[in-house]
Amino acid sequence: MRDDAVIEVADLHHRFGRREVLRGVDLQVPQGSVTALLGRNGEGKSTLLRLLTGWLRGPRGCMRVLGLDPARDGALVRRRAGYVPDGLELPRWMRVRDWFRFLEPFHPTWSRDEERRLCAQLELDADARVTTLSKGQRAKHALVAALAHRPELLLLDEPFSGLDPIVRHDVLGAVLGHLRDERRTVVVVTHSIADVERVADRVVLLERGRVRLDTELEALQRGAARLAVTLRDDAPAWTPPGQPAVERNGRDVVLSYVDLAPDVERSLAADPAVVSVTRLPRDLEHVFRAAVAREEVLPCVA
């Protein structure tokens, strides 16, 4: 276990009825990091966040968040953490500020000055009724509610989904402003590779209920590679070296590697079935596919 871990999860399992969503998740999130939590729909990302905040009960395994057990001390975790769920529904009669006044007693560190500053930054009318808010305004409302008490840990579940570019820029700006506070920690669920590269310094990929990739983004960018290979006509059963994701169209093959070993390109160049090898621009989406294609869980790259 890391001494600076804000989140520690070991052998975490959770099921809904007969369906096991999390199947032995091991995860550590260091203090001051921004971790992008990736994975296809239904892979347990939202479930994991709900367990970490104590809103969902009944897992098997160990969890520690800010030194607390969220299954037992969920209210204390939520007091110190900000959480933006996916698709929060509020009573129709509420105004924006009514929700803030409801939340304020639960957070001793709530700052009305910070609340006003964020509303001004995001151009959010505190007197507007929640029923009149657009999708982008609802995203801003949820973000202000999560940030106004200056949380030590910020958990964001698809905060940028479906937002137009201008609103997306505003919401990202508020998150980045929060990150300027020393030692703040963020976990964000997103499907946007562009957002990952803009805000994250760590990447965790969930696949089939397990962590398939856990690495620093810089290390991933440094080691990831895509290679275009042209094969000879008589090489139908060709197998590439390493464990890449493979896209093949006849003689043309694209190989995506999570961490390209130095001898792979030499091996390809010496392969009698290969006509040519060319490096392609790095593409993280293809790298994540390569991670899923691998059979074993990839260790954390320090």
Query: pLDDT tens-digit profile of 206-245?
Result: 988 899 889 898 888 888 889 999 999 877 788 898 888 8
Residue 215 within a domain:
no
What is the pLDDT at residue 300?
37
pLDDT at residue 177 is higher than 80:
no
Q: Which residue has the higher pLDDT, 82 or 90?
A: 82
Considering only CA atoms, which of 4, 7, 57, 60 is closest in space to residue 37? 7
Q: Does 116 lie in the same domain as 10? A: yes
Q: Does 236 lie in the same domain as 204? A: no
**What is the chain's length?**
302
pLDDT at residue 296 is higher than 50:
no
Residue 56: DSSP 8-state: S
Q: Which tokens hold the place of 127? A: 């007197």
Q: Exposed (0-12), middle (13-18) or buried (19+): which is 273, by Cβ within 10 Å? A: middle
How many domains is the chain built from?
2
Query: pLDDT tens-digit profile of 75-88?
Result: 999 999 999 887 77
pLDDT at residue 301 is higher than 50:
no
CATH number where 52 lies: 3.40.50.300
Q: Which residue has the higher pLDDT, 111 or 223?
A: 111
What is the pLDDT at residue 229?
94
pLDDT at residue 302 is higher than 60:
no
Q: Does 242 lie in the same domain as 144? A: no
Considering only CA atoms, which of 98, 102, 146, 143 is closest in space to residue 123? 143
C-alpha distance from residue 190 to each of 41, 42, 175 (Å):
10, 13, 14
Cα within 13 Å of Cα(161), Cβ side:
13
Amino acid letter for position 74: G
Q: Does 240 lie in the same domain as 168? A: no
Residue 65 within a domain:
yes
pLDDT at residue 163 is higher than 50:
yes
What is the pLDDT at residue 293?
67
Q: Does 154 lie in the same domain as 57? A: yes
Q: Does 184 lie in the same domain as 51? A: yes
Tell the residue number behind the tokens 């320090």, with chain if given: 302
Q: Does 190 lie in the same domain as 96? A: yes
Q: Which tokens hold the place of 41? A: 């729909």
pLDDT at residue 204 is higher than 90:
yes
Q: Does 241 lie in the same domain as 172? A: no
Give the mean model confidence (pLDDT) for residues 113-125.
Answer: 92
pLDDT at residue 74 is higher than 70:
yes
pLDDT at residue 93 is higher than 90:
no
Residue 302 within a domain:
no
Domain boundary among 178, 208, 238: 208
Mean confidence (pLDDT) of the chain: 86
Residue 216 within a domain:
no
Considering only CA atoms, which of 156, 204, 195 is closest in space to residue 178? 156
Alpha carbon 35 to its chain's center = 6
Query: pLDDT tens-digit profile of 136-158?
Result: 888 889 989 999 999 999 999 98
Q: Does 199 lie in the same domain as 124? A: yes
Q: Does 270 lie in the same domain as 180? A: no
| C-alpha–C-alpha distance, residues 48 and 22, integer Å | 8
Q: Does 268 lie in the same domain as 163? A: no
Q: Does 162 lie in the same domain as 71? A: yes
Give the phi and the psi of residue 78 in degrees, each rounded to 5: -65, -25
Q: Determine contact, residues 85/100, Cβ cutoff 8 Å.
A: no
247 beta partners: 254
Residue 59 within a domain:
yes
Buried b (16+ CB within 10 A) or exposed e, 54-73: bebeebeeebbbbebebbee
3-state secondary structure of 67: coil
Find the range with the poorest average confidence among 55-69, 199-213, 276-290: 276-290
Domain boundary among 177, 208, 239: 208
* pLDDT level of residue 298 (50, 70, 90 thresholds): very low
Domain boundary among 208, 243, 274: 208
Residue 259 within a domain:
yes
Residue 152 within a domain:
yes
pLDDT at residue 72 is higher than 70:
yes
pLDDT at residue 123 is higher than 70:
yes
Find the range with the poorest average confidence among 32-36, 162-166, 202-206: 162-166
Structural domain for 250, as ranges = 223-293
Residue 74 within a domain:
yes
Q: Which tokens hold the place of 151? A: 């949380």
Alpha carbon 176 to its chain's center = 15
| C-alpha–C-alpha distance, residues 47 and 66, integer Å | 19
Q: Exposed (0-12), middle (13-18) or buried (19+): which is 151, by Cβ within 10 Å? A: buried
* pLDDT level of residue 3 (50, 70, 90 thresholds): low
What is the pLDDT at residue 279?
92
Q: Which tokens hold the place of 72? A: 């037992």
Alpha carbon 122 to its chain's center = 23
Give the mean model confidence (pLDDT) for residues 58-81.
Answer: 92
Percent of the chain with pLDDT over 70: 94
Give the mean model confidence (pLDDT) for residues 83-96.
Answer: 84
CATH number where 233 lies: 3.30.70
Give the phi and the psi of residue 192 in degrees, each rounded to 5: -90, 115
pTM value is: 0.84
Q: Which residue has the higher pLDDT, 249 or 181?
A: 249
H helices present in the chain, as ranges: 45-52, 70-80, 96-103, 112-121, 135-147, 165-179, 193-199, 217-223, 262-270, 284-293
Pairing of strands 202-207, 210-216: antiparallel
